[in-house]
Amino acid sequence: LRAYLQSVAQVRNMVREESIDLVHATSAISMQYVLPVAKMRGISAIAHVQGKHLKSSRVGAFIAWADAVVAVSTWISRDYRIAGNRLSIVSDGINTDRFCRNIVERERLRLELGIATDEPVVGMVGQLLPGKRPLLFVDIASVVCTKFPRARFILAGAGELEKDVVAAVEAAGLSGRILVLGYRADVPALLSAMDIFLFTSCNEALGLAPLEAASSGLPVVAGAATALPEVVEDGTTGFLVDPDNVGAYAEKCVQLIEDEALAQRMGAAGREMIFRKFSLEAFRMNIDQLYRRLLQC
């Protein structure tokens, strides 16, 4: 407790010395220190809710002290029961210059991974954790491979389930079809190498991975759960399915493999959606408007 109070005092001194009029807490740690100081100093404060972890921690109590609450999705705001004039829905922005279709990178990465130019590639990027359900990805891939033996699958990300995923791939006899790459820093290039983005997570406050995929011109197949219906326009930028139905995921992947024109239309619609709703420019404008409202300038 003493260390906490000392840290709060340090933040309070900084706010006073720098004549700060508004604070914006964007993490669980910062909320514990910044919001109490704002309350004591009588200055404007914003709590930025970006995940479910705050709800199960003591930090959630500090949100009540904020003058405004920014939630990254409507779903997460409802989950926290945040409403009224304090609430603003401001989704994270995607760097459309970084996440875009790159034919050169597509060819380079496919060559590196041993994937032929005419092989359809279904992929996912995400941590290999229970909430992301990477083992479900393997199950879906197994079904798709029975219909399209030439289909290839990319699963990129690290996490506690990595060994289990590799074992499941080997048990299914699909080591040559499903590539478990571990952590990769070249996510934009990986997305360029794919044709379809299959997202099996069902625990998303927003869903940055499918947004980055959409920005890269990929159709997205995801579960109709949590905030995912806010980032995938069903039937337009991809498909939303029963999040626990392996066959439903596989069916939509097969449909997109069979109908390349549909996949391309959905991919183009996804990139247009990013510019319309999830661009960095839109994010900056929304945050700027909130700052100006709180500061009345």
Q: Can you tell me the distance from the alpha carbon of 75 to that of 204, in angstroms, rounded to the nearest whole number?
A: 9
Q: What is the token pair recorded at 202?
A: 């069902």
Q: What is the mean pLDDT of residues 7-33?
A: 94
Segment 204-246, tens digit of pLDDT: 999 999 999 999 999 999 999 999 999 999 999 999 999 999 9
pTM: 0.92
Dihedral (CA of 68, 48, 212, 233) sign: negative
**Across 2-16, average pLDDT:** 94
Cβ neighbours for 5, distance < 8 A, ≥ 6 positions apart: none
Q: Give residue 82's pLDDT band: very low, low, confident or very high (50, 70, 90).
A: confident
Half-sphere exposure of 227 (CA within 13 A, CB side): 25
For the chain, the domains span 2-93+279-295, 103-277
pLDDT at 29: 87
CATH number of 2-93+279-295: 3.40.50.2000
DSSP string, 241-271: E-TT-HHHHHHHHHHHHH-HHHHHHHHHHHH
Using a pLDDT cut of 90, give the percent of the chain over it.
Answer: 88
Mean pLDDT of 285-295: 96
Task: Check for a shared fold between 2-93+279-295 and 103-277.
Answer: yes
* Residue 61, pLDDT score: 78
Q: How high is the pLDDT of residue 104? A: 98
pLDDT at 159 over 70: yes
pLDDT above 60: residue 116: yes
DSSP H helical segments within the chain, as ranges?
2-17, 28-41, 74-79, 103-113, 134-147, 162-171, 187-193, 208-215, 246-258, 260-277, 280-295
The CATH architecture that domain 103-277 belongs to is 3-Layer(aba) Sandwich (3.40)
SS3 of 36-88: the string is: HHHHHHCCEEEEEECCHHHCCCHHHHHHHHCCEEEECCHHHHHHCCCCCCCEE
